[in-house]
């Protein structure tokens, strides 16, 4: 006889997945100053549900779904308050051994990606972030968002195209010329 799987407590979920939830909210475009509060709100919902009960969705997919709803609520509240737009967090994805040039290129690429993600509406951004950046399976995303897998595929296809176009536009933008150094000014 199979033993039913034991629920995972809110505390255990928080310890194991709080960073995931914060990163996910940032990728959804949550304002940086709001992320800690939003993470807390996600885990208050988890606590109200009595933790995670193993089922068809993985814990990260389930937490992602809660985070989506919390982020949507925050976006609506901001709009009601008259605040528009959102600043995307650029995570500290730079290796400690990176050269200054590598670090600069990484920051530039992350900024371009953040700008590309900003062109997506929320529904497309959620699917793109869950699949492409968080590695969630399409079927789990569909189940978590209560939409057909075909809708996930359609949103993913559209989001990929829009992100690629926005990323390429950012890449081809002319960069402002760098200022001359004191040595270059004297030589010129």
- Of the three residues 72, 88, 104, the one that is the final residue of a domain is 88
pLDDT at 86: 35
Does residue 93 sit in helix, strand or coil?
Answer: coil
Residue linked to tokens 């996930």: 152
Q: Please give the average per-residue pLDDT across 19-25, as a whole number.
A: 91
- Of the three residues 67, 88, 109, the one that is the final residue of a domain is 88
User: Token digits for 109?
Assistant: 């690429």
Residues 3 and 78 in one domain: yes
User: Token digits for 79?
Assistant: 């709009």
pLDDT at 17: 92
Residue 121 lies in a domain: yes
Would you give the DSSP letter of residue 32? G
CA within 13 Å, CB half, 122: 18
How many structural domains are present in the chain? 2
Residue 183 lies in a domain: no
- Of the three residues 52, 69, 88, the one that is the final residue of a domain is 88
Point out the least confidently predicted range of 63-77, 109-123, 155-169. Answer: 109-123
Residues 80 and 116 in one domain: no
Does residue 155 sit in helix, strand or coil?
Answer: helix
Distance, CA of 25 to CA of 36 (rounded, Å): 10
Per residue in 84-122, pLDDT tens?
433 333 434 445 566 677 667 666 776 777 778 888 888
Provide the domain limits for residue 29: 1-88
pLDDT at 98: 64
Residue 184 lies in a domain: no
Q: Please give the average per-residue pLDDT across 49-76, as a whole number.
A: 84
The pLDDT mean for the chain works out to 77
Would you give the DSSP letter of residue 131? I
Per residue in 137-159, pLDDT tens?
898 888 878 889 999 999 999 99
Residue 187 lies in a domain: no
Higher pLDDT, 21 or 116: 21
Residues 110 and 70 in one domain: no
CA distances from 149 to 75, 83, 156 (A): 26, 34, 10
Residue linked to tokens 């997919």: 61
pLDDT at 18: 92
Distance, CA of 8 to CA of 26 (rounded, Å): 25
- Give me the helices (H) in 28-146, please: 35-48, 59-80, 100-117, 122-128, 138-145
Residue 179 lies in a domain: no
Residue 186 lies in a domain: no
Distance, CA of 68 to CA of 49 (rounded, Å): 16
Q: Please give the average per-residue pLDDT across 165-178, as a whole number.
A: 66
pTM of the model: 0.58
Residue 83 has pLDDT above 70, yes or no: no
């Amino acid at each position: 006889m199979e033993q039913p799987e034991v629920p995972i407590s809110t505390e255990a979920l928080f310890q194991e997945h709080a960073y995931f939830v914060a990163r996910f909210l940032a990728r959804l475009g949550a304002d940086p100053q709001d992320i800690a509060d939003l993470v807390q709100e996600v885990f208050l919902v988890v606590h109200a549900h009595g933790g995670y009960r193993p089922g068809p969705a993985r814990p990260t997919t389930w937490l992602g779904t809660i985070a989506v709803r919390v982020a949507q609520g925050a976006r609506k509240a901001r709009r009601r308050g008259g605040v528009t737009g959102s600043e995307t967090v650029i995570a500290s994805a730079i290796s400690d051994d990176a050269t200054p040039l590598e670090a600069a290129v990484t920051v530039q690429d992350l900024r371009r990606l953040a700008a590309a993600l900003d062109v997506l509406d929320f529904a497309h951004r959620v699917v793109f972030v869950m699949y492409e950046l968080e590695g969630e399976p399409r079927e789990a995303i569909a189940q978590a968002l209560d939409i057909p897998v075909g809708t996930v595929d359609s949103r993913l296809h559209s989001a990929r195209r829009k992100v690629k176009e926005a990323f390429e536009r950012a890449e081809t933008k002319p960069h402002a010329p760098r200022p001359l150094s004191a040595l270059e000014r004297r030589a010129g």
